[in-house]
Chains A and B, each alone.
Chain A
Amino acid sequence: MLSQKTANLVFITAILIASAYFAWVAEGFVTSGLLASSGLPSKFFPQLMLALMALCAGRVGYLYLVRGHAGEPELANVFASATEARQGLSMLAVAVLCYAIWRNFGFAPMAVLLGPISLLVMGVRNLFIYITVLALTAFITAVFIYGLGIQLL
């Protein structure tokens, strides 16, 4: 299983790379006209925050490398079991997929698929739960379309 130490070190590396990238992008902020000479430059605050983030990330990374943890129990895993990992990550994929379906094919296909796909990835086999979720989907859709007048379809 993925350990907290490994996952955190990867996350910290990503934060450090992102901080460096965004700090470099901030160097290109251009203020035109009279406002250019007034007050502090626009890059000041983002770069200050990025520096703080990098500093904290460095400290967290150091703690993981030296102590193996940064406050939480040592050698704890990110997921308690393989099933938990599969269900959580699959649900994340379902959320992204449904967003893509909505954007490309419209609301109705997304609304119809969201419930059943979610239940499938969570390993639900009870038909009653599928019916309940579809009924709730229909209810929510009706509230927004007819109750609030939102153009969903």
Chain B
Amino acid sequence: MIDSAALISALGLLADPLTMLLLVVGIVLGLIIGILPGLGPPIAIALALPFTFYMDPVPSMVLLLGIYSAAIYGGSISAIAVGIPGTGAAIATVQDGHKMFKSGRGGEALGFSLTGSIIGGLFSAVCLALIAPLLADLAAKFGPREYLAISVFGLVVVVRVAGQSLSKGLLMGALGLFLTTWGLDELNGTERYTFGNYHFYEGLPLVPFLVGLFAVSEVLIGAERAAQRVDFDAASLKVKLPGLKTLVRMKDVIMRSSIIGTVIGIIPGEGAAVGAFFAYSEAKRRSKEPEKYGTGIPEGIVAPETANNATVGGALVPTLTLGVPGSPAAAVLLGALLIQGLTPGPKLFSEEPDLMYAIFIGLFLINILMLFIGLIAIRFAAQLIRVPTSVIVPTVLLLSFVGIYSVSNSFFNVGVLLGAGILGYVVRKLGYSIAPLSIGFVLGPILENALRQSLTIADGSVLEFFNTPIGLTIYAALALTILWGPLTARFKK
């Protein structure tokens, strides 16, 4: 049921000129950061986090959501123009997008990516508004066993899709979970790994850890390839939007990709890159001319771009209703809510209904405005592809240092940022993914409390974990996701 008072209040908050300005600023910043190769949505949100410390919840969330959505879309611009995806989510777009650009159809390719992104984003915003309140109602009935099941589900899924080695993914997930045990035990106040330093009492701080893991590690990797230069023909960057007839012809691809992106976004831990790849392979599999994919066809751009932006709304569903991030970027967004003193979860819907409505409407507005800003700004923003990495590296490092320091005036937090950055750099160089590490770090407290409370309730019996219909359903879904691939392969034989 719609809470009309909260809805009107949300509209009033969004109509504030400063909020609207931040919405536009968020889109522009997201576009810029998304275009710069290597700096994806989690980094974009992480760098903006310290600024939100001084804002009210609605303007801060609107700014970050604008950055999140636009950064995912921005990644496609460099993917199309120079064949280097600005974000992981745009890797699938490179194949057809860059081929179209090289054949002199760059403007068309950008038009398809912009249209796909906006349709996917709008679809997922509607799904978020419809699904999130229902899930929040259901989640209000959740106990420790259900939260345990969801946390395990999220972690296992992200481990499975992160990198080529399951053991490496699991090792990173466990490391992330372990690092959350530092500090005072939430259940009984025992000191754990505090090393006599009072800074550790509250554990390793979430925001510096995530900013370090994503931004600082990327800075260090960026420094390695600082000499690389990219260039492209900016003349063919005038966006040419597809006609209605073309969109109707591609309606199946658009619809399927929107659904795929939203569903994959909802699955805890999955990100935009997985959604884009899945949608691309589905579009290719169902096409009458699959051999044309990869040669520069519009469907090869529309499918991944629709899906990766559709993951935004999807990822917000578990983040807002359960406090379980739907993607690494949503994990950083969760940090933003914590900075505001808000605890993501079912109670957020009853305690802050106007904020929830503002998020739903804000996400919708962001996608509409992105169309106009995209049309105007792409040509100018794309020039940023030429910015040398050597300029980005010290700038992002300084911004991370100062940003984290400004949140709490604490050198300890800057130390955590640096430590997490070095850890992220080392593990990435050794072929590990940082996605399970970040998700493990966010899920750690939920998982530990849920596990310990569940074991206490069940008197130590692990079988009791399955003695709940919701929990059992989640475990069944988890088993299905794990066994789906091997089972279908067996049946095909």
Residues of A within 8 A of B (CB): 4, 7-8, 11, 15, 22, 25-26, 29-31, 35-36, 38-40, 42-46, 49-50, 52-53, 56-57, 59-60, 63, 70-72, 76, 78-80, 83-85, 87-88, 90-92, 95-96, 98-99, 102-103, 110-111, 114-115, 118-119, 121-124, 129, 132-133, 136-137, 140-141, 144, 148, 150-152
Residue in chain A with minimal CB distance to B426? A11
- Chain A residues near B425 (CB, 8 Å)? 88, 92
In the bound complex, do residue A84 and residue B51 qualify as a contact, i.e. CB atoms below 8 Å apart?
A: no
When A45-B448, A52-B170 are in contact, do A103 and B411 touch as well, CB less than 8 Å? yes
Contact (A63, B51) CB under 8 Å given A11-B426, A118-B394: no
Contacts of A85 in B (CB 8 A): 224
Residues B397 and A42 in contact, CB atoms below 8 Å apart = no
Knowing A4-B430, A95-B418, A98-B401 touch, does A53 contact B178 (C-beta < 8 A)? Answer: yes
**A140/B399 contact (C-beta < 8 A), A123-B227, A148-B54 known:** yes
Q: Tell me whether B398 and A137 are in contact (CB under 8 A).
A: yes
Shortest CB distance B380–A (Å): 18
How far is it, in angstroms, between the C-alpha of A131 and the C-alpha of B388 when the chains are bound? Answer: 13
Looking at the assembled complex, report how far the CB atom of A59 sits from the nearest CB atom of chain B, in whole angstroms: 4
A71 to chain B, nearest CB (A): 3
A110 cross-chain contacts in B, Cβ below 8 A: 401
Contact indicator per residue, chain B 175-195, by CB within 8 Å of chain A (1) or not (0): 101100100010111111100
With a CB–CB cut-off of 8 A, which chain B residues contact A46? 178, 181, 192-193
Q: Is the CB of A40 within 8 A of B178?
A: no
- Name B429's contact: one of A22, A78, A96 (CB within 8 Å): A78
Cα of A95 to Cα of B394 in the assembled complex, Å: 9
B473 at interface, CB cutoff 8 A: no
Indicate which residue in B171, B431, B453 contacts A72 across the interface (CB closer than 8 Å): B431
Residue numbers in A under 8 Å from B414 (CB-CB): 99, 102
- Contact between B189 and A31, CB atoms less than 8 A apart: yes
- Whether B429 and A136, one on each chain, are in contact in the complex, defined by CB atoms closer than 8 angstroms, is no
Complex Cα gap A22–B168 (Å): 20
Is the pair A114, B397 in contact by a Cβ cutoff of 8 Å? yes
Please tell me if the beta carbons of A40 and B401 are within 8 angstroms of each other in the complex. no
Q: Which of B402, B418, B421 has the most CB of A within 10 A?
A: B402
Would you call A11 and B430 a contact (CB within 8 A)? yes
**Min CB distance, A29 to chain B, in Å?**
5
What is the chain B residue whose CB lies nearest that of A76?
B431
Does B205 interact with chain A (Cβ within 8 Å)? no
12 extra interface residue pairs, beta carbon distance < 8 Å, beyond A29-B191, A84-B225: A4-B430, A35-B187, A39-B452, A42-B188, A45-B181, A78-B430, A87-B224, A88-B223, A114-B394, A114-B398, A140-B395, A144-B402
B371 interfacial contact with A, CB 8 Å: no
Which of A11, A26, A70 counts the most chain B CB atoms within 10 A?
A: A70
Q: Is B451 an interface residue (CB 8 A)?
A: yes
Q: Are A118 and B388 in contact (CB under 8 A)?
A: no
CA–CA, A57 and B167, complex, Å: 7
Q: Which of A36, A95, A99 contacts B220 (CB 8 A)?
A: A95
Q: Are A95 and B216 in contact (CB under 8 A)?
A: yes
- A91 with B219: CB separation less than 8 A: yes
Which of chain A's residues has its CB closest to B387's CB?
A132
Query: Which one of B174, B391, B401, B418 lies within 8 Å of A132 (CB-CB)?
Result: B391
Q: List 14 A-B contacts (CB under 8 A).
A: A29-B192, A49-B178, A56-B170, A60-B167, A63-B165, A84-B224, A84-B225, A88-B220, A88-B223, A96-B422, A99-B418, A102-B414, A129-B390, A152-B402
